[in-house]
Structure 1
Amino acid sequence: MKKKIMGVILAATLIVSQAVTAFAGSKTSEVVLPNDFAAYYTVTEGTREAFAEAEAVSPQTVDAIIEVNNGSMTLAQLVADMKELLKAEGAAGLKMTEEQVDALAADLGSRTFVTKFFDLEPVNGGIKDDNGDYLVTLSVPAISTAMTEVAFLHFSTDRAAWEVVEASDVDYTNKEITASFKDLSPVAVIAKVDTSADNAIGTSPQTGRFPVSVLWIGAAVILGATGVIVLRKRKEK
């Protein structure tokens, strides 16, 4: 009997530890290149060192990107930061007008970050589409059918401007996103996420793990069942 109870407690402990891991883990998903694109592009974790070229163009923009990656800035706050940057630097650091930032905000709508910013660069010339733009397909494990309006938020170091690059194809089965870029530099995946009850159970759109609340509930159920077993045994005695 003691062995059974210990086994149940260990199972509950395992579930709780998984919940803690999910909570403490990265809030963005890993982005990788499918085999067909691995020889033509590189994906690098979004660090200040990786964004050295962008930092040379606009240091404050990279500061904001790092804040996003650290989890201390939302997409809405990033847009507000762009407007403040325009007032402080003008065309010196961010070559956009207030009207262009407002248009960007309208394009973003209610979309949120799905991944952190990462550095995407071409290798061997990349792959070009019919318009001469870089055609890229990325594997993003966090993508789910609860997401619509999937796109990329891109800071162009060549043009010193932000833009929304809409996905030309989203393969939810293989979790791959395809889009074309005029140039490549810091980029993040964004999407409109359905957080309704129908989509609440499943993997988190930002972590690819089961929601923490579900794991804690599972642990509570197991421990509760253990208590019932113990009480029954005592009554039988």
Structure 2
Amino acid sequence: MKGMKKFITCLLTAALTLGAASAVFAASKTTDVSSPTGGIVVAALDLNGVDKDVAEAITDVTEKTDMKDFLEDIKGQKGADEIADAITGKQFLTGFFDIYAEDGAKHNEDGTYTVQLNVPELDDTMTTIQILHYSTVRGTWELIEVSAVDYKNKLVTATFKDLSPATIVIAKTASGKTVVSTNKTAQKAAKTAPKTGASTNYMVWLIAAMAFIGAAFAVSRKKATM
């Protein structure tokens, strides 16, 4: 009987632990984009303190998101009208990623940051490469023109007034075809961490059910021996 109680306790502990872990995992994001610029970090999104509607629009974006749907999501937000015409008909090359400067990172005399971004999906068929940025400092959407593109090393360079969530947008390829990105990390994340967190919740409920079945079995055994 003591062994059965210990088993049930372990199952319940596992269910609670997985439940907490699933909430954290569902909120995490990954990206293939990185930066070789000293003191500049490209990381998973941190949207703490960001307006709820803005945060939802950002987290919904993947490299396959339809631009028309995205523009509808941000309608009425600051800066949305100013960028709408410029990005209509374009597409996302990546999902959103976060950019921030570490302590001691070098900036330009005017306080801006010139940043290189390594974008694995970049190739020389892509045109009109731009960076869609949401400034958490100024609370506005903006479109940043890149100052240099290095197709061989898959690098784009741009200057930011401040650093916060951004994504790469492009026009059509030189052949006129729409680019189909193969962001493997994003695809893997989408498979293992669905937006709704449904599959993770199923696992939690399964373990919880096992725990209750075990408890019922233990009670039935106790009654049978009485």
Verify same fold: TM over 0.5: yes
If each structure's helix is expressed as a fraction of its own residues, which one has the higher value?
A: 1
User: Does the 8 Å contact 1:151/1:166 carry over to 2?
Assistant: yes
Corresponding position: 1:161 with 2:140: yes
Residues 101-180 of structure 1 aligned to structure 2 (within 5 Å): 101-180=80-159
Structure 2 stretches of 5 or more lacking a match?
Answer: 1-29, 185-226
Matched residue, 1:22: none
Matched residue, 1:69: 62
Deviation digits for residues 162-195 of structure 1, max 9, x if unmatched?
0001101011111100000001111101111317
Corresponding position: 1:206 with 2:181: yes
Corresponding position: 1:78 with 2:96: no
Structure 1 stretches of 5 or more lacking a match?
Answer: 1-27, 87-93, 210-237
User: What is the CA distance between 1:29 and its match in structure 2?
Assistant: 6.5
Corresponding position: 1:32 with 2:34: yes
Matched residue, 2:170: 191
User: Does the 8 Å contact 1:127/1:135 carry over to 2?
Assistant: no
SS at match of 1:168: strand
SS at match of 1:167: strand
Matched residue, 1:4: none
Deviation digits for residues 54-107 of structure 1, max 9, x if unmatched?
xx2311111111111395x42221111121xx3xxxxxxx4x2xxx53331112
The range that moved more, 149-158 or 73-82, is: 73-82
Task: Give the partner amino acid of 2:34.
Answer: V
Counterpart-to-counterpart distance in 2, 1:70 and 1:119: 15
SS at match of 2:129: strand
| TM-score of the pair, normalised by structure 1 | 0.58
Task: Give the partner amino acid of 1:185.
Answer: S
Matched residue, 1:57: 50
| TM-score of the pair, normalised by structure 2 | 0.61
In structure 2, the CA distance between the partners of 1:110 and 1:42, relative to structure 1 (3 Å rule), is: same
Counterpart-to-counterpart distance in 2, 1:70 and 1:136: 21
Counterpart-to-counterpart distance in 2, 1:123 and 1:29: 19
SS at match of 1:62: helix
User: Does the 8 Å contact 1:137/1:177 carry over to 2?
Assistant: yes
TM-align CA RMSD = 2.6
SS at match of 1:107: helix
Counterpart-to-counterpart distance in 1, 2:40 and 2:157: 13
Percent of aligned pairs with the same amino acid? 32
The alignment covers a number of residue pairs equal to: 155
SS at match of 1:193: coil
